[in-house]
Structure 1
Amino acid sequence: MADIALPPPAPFLALPVEPPIPWNRWLQSFETFILAVGLTGMSAARKKALLLHCLGVEGQRVLGALESGTTSNYDTAVELLTAHFAAPQSVLLQRFLFRQRHQLPGESVQQTDDLSLSRAITIAVRIESAAACASALTKQQIIADCPAPSPSPTISVTAQPG
């Protein structure tokens, strides 16, 4: 079988900004790359070196800070990075990103991120509540006039006989 020449995944974090792709997705891409090019049997030291190379300059700095002057193996490095980058993000940031999301031309609903219907409804209810509160504030009404967010509605789907 011929050798396969595949480029490594794009650096996870080349600059000190928000990662362009969620950590778990990037890690899955990295591990798929290792499998695809036949490097699954490499030593742990070489695997960590490849991880460091693919992390990017800022990703390397973050891992160095997480290791606190000690050297970890590949598995520990992945655990440290997972704990750091997969940590829950700010609710305000998530709401902002949700409101900025636009469906791309040719993109189906199934291709959008892992947003469940119940989660979308919860976010929409909170956005409506925040908008009503903002409206009350711009009219210089007191905070007590702001409607409290209603609990998330329960949605049930029943199959229709066909």
Structure 2
Amino acid sequence: YGFDKPPLERYWLMLKRFARFDLGDSYFRHQSVWSLVVQKMPVSISIGLWTFFLTYLISVPLGIAKAVRNGSPFDVATSLVVLVGYAIPGFVLGVLLLVLFGGGSFWQLFPLRGLTSDNFAQLSLVGKVLDYLWHIALPITASVVGSFAVVTMLTKNAFLDQIRR
């Protein structure tokens, strides 16, 4: 790793390794870090796609409804929810969801680890899909909340702008 070299030279060596996608080896797993990243990539892509789909499925209709009912009690109440969703960072919400619903201190409604249950192979197709969704529900929820707030307000403001023209 060049620990015997000056800092600028070490930095240059690190940049050269990164350019070759050489992220080094994992100390704990005894594998290359790049292979571990590639191994987990499908899960990250899946969560990202679910987040994108659910964010727009919820936010666009809500933003339109807020624009149509601008200034009404519905608009004020949903603005409060959107503001809270915007103010809470995703990582904080993720920890809160784990503590509340993942068996931290209160309810054990969702699993804390893994992508599937132990009996996944014996489940029907519908059971497998539901089991998978059950395992990724908390990460998706934590990810959707911040995006949901931004997209809802952007949709509302865009529709209000078009209505006023």
Q: Which has the higher helix share?
A: 2
Task: Using structure 1 for the length normalisation, give the TM-score.
Answer: 0.23
Task: Using structure 2 for the length normalisation, give the TM-score.
Answer: 0.23
